[in-house]
Amino acid sequence: MKKSLVAIAILVSLFTNSLLAQNNRKAGSLGREEYIEVEKNVKLHVTDLGEGAPVVLIHGWPLSDAMYEYQYAYFVEKGYRVIGITLRGFGLSDKPGGSYNYDVFADDIKVILDKLKIENATIGGFSMGGATVIHYVAKYHAAHVSKMALFGAAAPIWTKRADFNYGFWTKEDVDGLIGLNNTNRPQLFATFGAIFPANETSVSAGHGAWLGTIQAQASPYAMGECLKTLRDSDLREDLKKITIPTLILHGKLDKICSYELAEQMHLGIKNSKLVPFEKSGHALFIEELGKFNTELLNFIK
């Protein structure tokens, strides 16, 4: 009996000490969620690093927030909090059926910034993410943000039409891309991979392979639905609603989102500054990495 009581006492002591150790342990993380629920059964992946003034980054099609690897490293080192949001359907975020348009994306971003209690952030978006950011700022009157940055943005309109003869793509061209997505997605990746950089050497083979692994995580359904959104959306009215300071970074040699689009955005957004990247195609965040990070940092400052 005494041996049993001694054994029980030892177990209680060990359990108590374990609890005390857990309570006294300093958390290794900053206590931030990596996955945030934006609606029932839909969670988005969020990279949330560093401490300081917030910088929110939205990726392009068909990438994820992982594309900003070299921005995370740079801005955390400079004393900023960097928050990369992966849109539904891409990367490590949930991939539900349903709508994939700028309204849904803007609503998701709003939920995340509400939950994180972000204020006075700089929000930036690349390609389709740039169009998403434009719609977010216009729809929610720049809630949580005080500055906007656009990188090779697919805006204000990605496809030509009777009253907008800019860019490279017609609606018929995009219909072809949708067909390719639904029958031969590897060929679609190869097609875009060939025109993503300014030339064959401006993005290394290693970086190209890295981007390829990110793209492969995307939902084929989400990719197709987003191509429809890119094909059909007109954000010219949204541009008129934006009053916060805006930085436009765009490659002069961009074969996906023509530099003409950057000029149209600059004309449509009152308080905007356009910075051309002379040596870059669509991959300006890699092709001229140093300039990209420096220009964005100077704008945020």
**Residues designated catalytic:** 127, 254, 282
Q: What is the C-alpha R_g of the chain?
A: 22
Task: Locate the DSSP E strands across 107-245.
Answer: 121-126, 145-151
Residue 161 DSSP symbol:
B
Which of helix, strand or coil describes residue 128? helix
Of residues 61, 79, 59, the one with CA closest to residue 301:
79
Burial group, residue 207, by CB count within 10 angstroms (0-12, 13-18, 19+): middle
Strands of the sheet with 54-58, listed across from one edge: 35-39, 42-49, 81-85, 54-58, 121-126, 145-151, 246-251, 272-277
d(CA 229, CA 19): 52
Q: Is the peptide bond before 54 cis (omega within 30 degrees of 0)?
A: no
- The helix-helix angle for 205-215 and 185-195 (nearest 10°) equals 140
Helices (H), 36-101: 69-77
Q: Cβ–Cβ contacts within 10 Å for residue 107, how many?
A: 15
Any residues with CB less than 8 A from the CB of 296 and at least 6 apart, and which? 55, 71, 122, 124, 149, 247, 249
Contact 246, 150 (CB under 8 A): yes
The gap between the terminal CA atoms of the chain, to the nearest Å, is 72
